């Protein structure tokens, strides 16, 4: 599947723990999760049980989602190149992994996070 015209790219981090399975938690030799305890800081990785999910959506069209080991430029580059047609306008946030989109042959429109969130 090839996405073209206008495409939005973003990443999300999904908790992939073993909630409700205390035997599995004991086998991993770590404490179970409790309410009001903070999680680990930083972006997630597959090793930290918080894998990043990278999504690409063509405006008014198809959606492509990939679970990744981590979110780095060298990790997302093959997914973008095989899924999005060269010359496509890609809307992203200000995260630095998207800095090379122009060098890879794409047009980029960077949308600050504060503009996408409605003020309360």
Share of the chain above pLDDT 70, in %: 62
Starting from the edge strand earliest in sequence, which strands make up the sheet with 107-110, in order?
63-67, 52-58, 6-13, 89-92, 107-110
Domains and CATH numbers, the chain: 6-116 (3.30.420)
pLDDT surpasses 80 at 33: no
pLDDT on residue 85: 93
pLDDT beyond 80 at 64: yes
Over the stretch 91-114, which tens digit does the pLDDT of each residue have? 988 888 888 988 999 988 876 655
Give the pLDDT of residue 83.
Answer: 93
Whole-number average pLDDT of the chain: 77
* The pLDDT of residue 63 is above 90: yes
Q: Write a three-state SS string for the chain.
A: CCECCEEEEEEEECCCCCCCCHHHHHHCCCCCCCCCCCCCCCCCCCCCCCCEEEEEEECCCCEEEEECCCCCHHHHHHHHHHHECCCCEEEECCCHHHCCCCCCCCEEEECCHHHHCCCC
pLDDT band at residue 88, thresholds of 50, 70 and 90?
very high
CB 51 within 8 A of CB 13: yes
Q: Return d(Cα 115, Cα 119) in angstroms, integer.
A: 9
Could you tell me what percent of the chain has a pLDDT over 90? 25
């Amino acid at each position: 599947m090839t996405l073209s015209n206008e495409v939005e790219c973003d990443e999300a981090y999904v908790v992939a723990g073993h909630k409700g399975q205390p035997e599995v938690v004991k086998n991993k030799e770590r404490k179970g999760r409790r309410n009001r305890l903070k999680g680990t800081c930083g972006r997630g990785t597959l090793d930290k049980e918080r894998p990043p999910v990278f999504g690409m959506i063509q405006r008014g069209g198809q959606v492509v989602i990939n679970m990744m080991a981590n979110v780095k430029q060298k990790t997302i580059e093959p997914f973008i190149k095989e899924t999005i047609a060269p010359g496509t306008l890609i809307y992203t946030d200000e995260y630095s992994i998207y800095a090379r989109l122009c060098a890879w042959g794409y047009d980029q429109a960077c949308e600050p996070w504060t503009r996408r969130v409605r003020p309360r």
